[in-house]
Chains A and B, each alone.
Chain A
Amino acid sequence: MITLDDDPFADEVLADPVPLHRRLRDAGPVVRLGRYDVWAMARAEEVTQALNDPATFCSSAGVGLSDFRKETPWRPPSLLLEADAPEHDRARHTVTSVLTPKVVKTYRDTFAREAEKLVAALVARGEFDAVADFAEAFPLKVFPDAVGLPAEGREHLLPYGAMVFNGFGPRNHLFTEAMERGAVAREWIAEHCRAENLAPGGLGARIHEAASEFTEEERALLVRSFLSAGVDTTVHALGNAVLCFALYPDQWAALREKPESSRAAFEEVVRFTSPVQTFFRTTTRDVEIGGVRIPAGEKVLLFLAAANRDPRRWPDADTFDITRRAAGHVGFGSGVHACVGQMFARLEGEVLLAELARRVTTIELAGEPRPQLSNTLRGLASLPVRVR
């Protein structure tokens, strides 16, 4: 078994994680990360296996570096993300009953109308920032609308998300800065998870209705999962999508020819760029993986992004190819903790990329893309583009 001294949460690695992911996969099915005294898996087979074995690789000790059995989390643990069976089953079931594919489909027309409006305005401008004006603008409009949040205060969603996703990493400068920046957002978020602040008929109100067996406080925590998990992730996926199409114009041409394939294209963006890069699990027992024995009670870092580019699993893994059958990637996780909002994310990606493909012939960089460093997410802070 190989020990690597790399810091997966160092700025330069977060800005370009691909080389480390390659080394991690090549080092073996299980690797030791000396710097944090944790284990790591980066190959598709082992990562998928661990995600699908929640009894061995549990989540209730936190899915970040911090071990909830030894440290107090910075916020009350999520009833979904940071929970195990049987408590997790109850919460998960409540949320899936509200987020079924059938319910998601009812938002299609609304999302499509918003996509038309946004893309028309951007095409008229010609030059814009594909992060602020496109990737953030769209989810920040349609998602809080769907949840039932008021128009005022939505600016708190991104700093809150940044706090959540940086909070899974070590206490580095990204963690500290995100906590400082997000401090004001915490109260607004907590306030807007309560039933009285959520519009009737919205997803948030529906969670409160579906979760009648939970306490008021627990119901608010279930809504909080929407606000934590539903915005930054989609924002990064959309920003990464525009960057991919700017860098690979042949793929843009392919999508232009078949805008109806935008859903598959979005899937490939998620595989290729993995907006959610990593999650931790904690072993509940001694377990042997690929000839390596991991003792009980240890943190294991799962590199979803590395698994999604594992050449053992994906032919031409490092090629962005929208015609590829990308199903089976772990960009949305896998197993009982697989992203519960994934059908929403797909709908957002599908309608927005289809609209862009119908209206825009070429996408060019109009400046250097700037990465937005995060301990968990991979995305951009800005992406100046010119469209025709």
Chain B
Amino acid sequence: MPKVTYVQSDGTSRTVEATVGRSLMQVAIDHGVDGIVAECGGNAMCATCHVYVDPARLDDLGPLCSDEEEMLDCTASPRAATSRLSCQLPVTEDLDGLVLRLPEEQL
């Protein structure tokens, strides 16, 4: 299973084994990672599973769809070029070693 690391805004980090096919949001929830709220349960409606992706790995992720694009304009912490919604990112083997930084606030 690919390993993914979630880094909190205070610098503490958790590396977890991610099940292929689940979303990076679901993986965080499955492992009780704080800092991902995911209010809408993964439907790209709440912008509370915002993450900053390691810029070197952005190309390993699928492209932004229009829903995600719009929702990223609604995040509580500032949007960056590396911003994604973790509910829209399915885990693949290629993501092994991926590091996600979590924003200061989600709500």
Interface residues of A, Cβ cutoff 8 Å to B: 93, 96-97, 100-102, 263, 267, 325, 327-330, 332, 334-336, 338, 340, 342-343, 346
Contacts and interface: CB of A to CB of B under 8 A. Distances in A.
Nearest to B67: A96
A100 B40 CA distance: 12
A9 to B, nearest CB: 27
A88 to B, nearest CB: 13
Contact of B74 (A102, A334, A342, A346): A102
Contacts of A327: 29, 37-39, 41
B45 interface: yes
Contacts of A97: 70
B12 interface: no
13 contacts: A93-B66, A100-B70, A100-B71, A101-B74, A327-B29, A327-B38, A328-B41, A332-B40, A332-B41, A336-B43, A338-B43, A343-B39, A346-B39
B39 A335 contact: no
Given A96-B67, A101-B46, A102-B74, A325 B39 contact: no
A327 B67 CA distance: 20
Interface in B30-59: 32, 37-43, 45-48
B60 to A, nearest CB: 24
B38 A100 contact: no
B78 to A, nearest CB: 13
Nearest to B48: A101
Given A96-B67, A97-B70, A335 B45 contact: no
Given A101-B47, A328-B29, A338-B45, 7 more contacts: A96-B45, A100-B71, A101-B45, A340-B45, A342-B45, A342-B46, A343-B39
A372 to B, nearest CB: 27
Given A100-B71, A101-B47, A263-B107, A338 B29 contact: no
B73 interface: yes
Residue among B32, B38, B45, B71 with max Cβ neighbours from chain A (10 Å): B45
A343 B45 contact: yes
A309 to B, nearest CB: 16
Nearest to B66: A93
A319 B71 CA distance: 33
Contacts of B48: 101
Contacts of A338: 40-41, 43, 45
A354 to B, nearest CB: 13
A102 B67 CA distance: 14
A346 B71 CA distance: 17
A330 B47 CA distance: 18
A342 B40 contact: yes
A343 B41 CA distance: 12
B9 to A, nearest CB: 18
Contacts of A334: 41-43
B76 to A, nearest CB: 8
A335 B43 contact: yes
Contacts of A263: 107
